[in-house]
Amino acid sequence: MQSHAATCHAMLMAAPASGQGKTMTTAALARAYRNRGLRVQAFKCGPDFIDSMILEVATGKPVYNLDLGMCGEADARRLLYKAAQENDVLLLEGVMGLYDGNPSCADIAERFGIPVGLVVNAKAMAQTFAAVAYGLYAFRPSLQRAGVIANQVGSEGHARMIKEALPADIPWLGAMPYNDQLSLPERHLGLHLAQEINDIDQRIEAAAQLLGQEIPLPPTVSFDTPENDSSELLLQGKTVAVAKDAAFCFIYKANLDLLQALGASITFFSPLTDAQLPLADAYWLPGGYPELHLEKIENNTGMRDSLKAAAAAGIPILAECGGMLSLGESLDGRPVFGLLKGHGNIESKRQGLGTQHATLPNENGTSTIGAHTFHYGRFETDLPAIAHGKGRYGTGEAIYRDQNITASFLHFYFPSNPALAAQFFLP
């Protein structure tokens, strides 16, 4: 007999655009609720890795991605239902502006009946704030209105002006005073990694205190029971070693969960500091920032030799984005691990962005997996592409296969095709 729907408080935090302060505000909200003894789970709409790391610090729990394009509706339904069973409050951080992208975070809110909270940077704005909030909600009347948070307000009087201008049917959730000490540093791929911000926990706690402990709870939402999801144990008895350190850290938690559901054991290693690979049946080098750690990569001859020995032994290796760049012959003119013929460079302009789907050969013909790309890197190589991702605007990223190594700028989302994901880690 199927279980009943799971019910808890839930809200999707959206904004008119990027740069409004969604990540810190969502983190502050999560911490404020957590400080009240509530169990809080955060999600990140879209394929972003970095914002999720900030939200993990705020909640103390892994953060999962919800993306109707890359991950699919069934995956989102399963994750939300499970989280609603185990938590009091679910907070979803949106991506870009509320309606940006197709599908957008507004589509997620509508699909699952999640009320939308708005974060709007109120700096240099007063009553017009109300018009912006009204317009965002009125553009799609079917969206439930959870309320608004005014970010970067200059004073209590500033916040009061904004609150008094709001229409009666737009709830006021609160205001975040301007404090430049709480802003998060950024670089070409977005915010700095949480682990790079020494006082990130203190910043989140300070933001939670500024937001106030009386902030109301979001409305309750019921999440339907998902269809039964059972994975074949395609990786039973296998150990997959995953690179994880300051240079290799763009890892979807759902990917790790999926590998374990397929029967694999997971171990982690650092290509920056470990002298050799751990024993494993397959290796995965995810994306990250290898370009910021070239001296360590160049000098880690033990890891270079160990990787080359694994490749020579025919052990499967998956290298995504920064992982692929690190396996080339050089990156920005400096030697890297040298397993793939090709040279990488980090350019000043973005080289790839967006959801793509890659169709790859398998035992039954072909199969398709969801993926995402966002990078400033270029990889010049003579390796033939075995396939290309396909996005909204046509042909996308190349996927290379060099004996046992699969490499691409794509970040694959394993739960979108468990059987194909397993193939990356099998001889």
Taking the C-alpha atoms of residue 58 and residue 392, their distance in angstroms, rounded to an integer, is 34
Residue 79, SS3? helix
Q: Distance of CA 8 to CAs 23, 32, 222, Å? A: 22, 17, 7
Contact criterion met (CB below 8 Å) for 41 and 83: yes
Q: Distance of CA 19 to CAs 113, 151, 175, 201, 221, Å? A: 26, 11, 17, 21, 28
What are the backbone dihedrals phi and psi of residue 160, each rounded to the nearest 5 degrees, phi first?
A: -65, -40
Q: Is position 105 annotated as part of the catalytic site?
A: no
What are the backbone dihedrals phi and psi of residue 411, each rounded to the nearest 5 degrees, phi first?
A: -100, 115
What DSSP letter does each residue of 29-78 carry, written as one string? Answer: HHHHHHHTT--EEEEEESS-SHHHHHHHHHHSS--EEE-TTTT-HHHHHH
Residue showing tokens 């009091």:
88
Residue showing tokens 């992982």:
323
Catalytic residues: 321
